[in-house]
């Protein structure tokens, strides 16, 4: 079963957030993003802009390529 890109991104954000021992509230504060929006991102129900992803990267101290590492498209391989 394929997992869509937004769901994969959300799982990756949650994984990196937990590696930093951040709660959703912590990451929301650090990245200046509403915690409900961040929660939606982690569940894969929002499509973030590059600006939002950039804020998350700054808060998690990583670059965009690292944030997106392992995320694949649903195209046939």
pLDDT for residue 77: 41
DSSP H helix total and E strand total for the chain: 5, 0
pLDDT for residue 3: 73
| 3-class SS letters over 23-55 | CHHHHHHHHCCCHHHHHHHHHCCCCCCHHHHHH
Q: What is the pTM of this model?
A: 0.90
| 11-69 per-position pLDDT tens digit | 999 999 999 999 999 999 999 999 999 999 999 999 999 999 999 999 999 999 999 99
Tokens of 28: 């929301």
Label residue 75 by pLDDT band (50, 70, 90). Answer: low
């Amino acid at each position: 079963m394929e997992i869509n890109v937004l769901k994969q991104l959300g799982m990756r954000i949650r994984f990196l957030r937990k590696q930093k021992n951040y709660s959703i509230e912590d990451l929301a504060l650090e990245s200046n993003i509403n915690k409900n929006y961040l929660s939606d991102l982690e569940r894969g129900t929002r499509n973030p802009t590059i600006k939002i992803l950039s804020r998350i990267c700054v808060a998690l101290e990583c670059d965009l390529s690292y944030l997106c590492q392992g995320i694949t498209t649903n195209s046939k391989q």
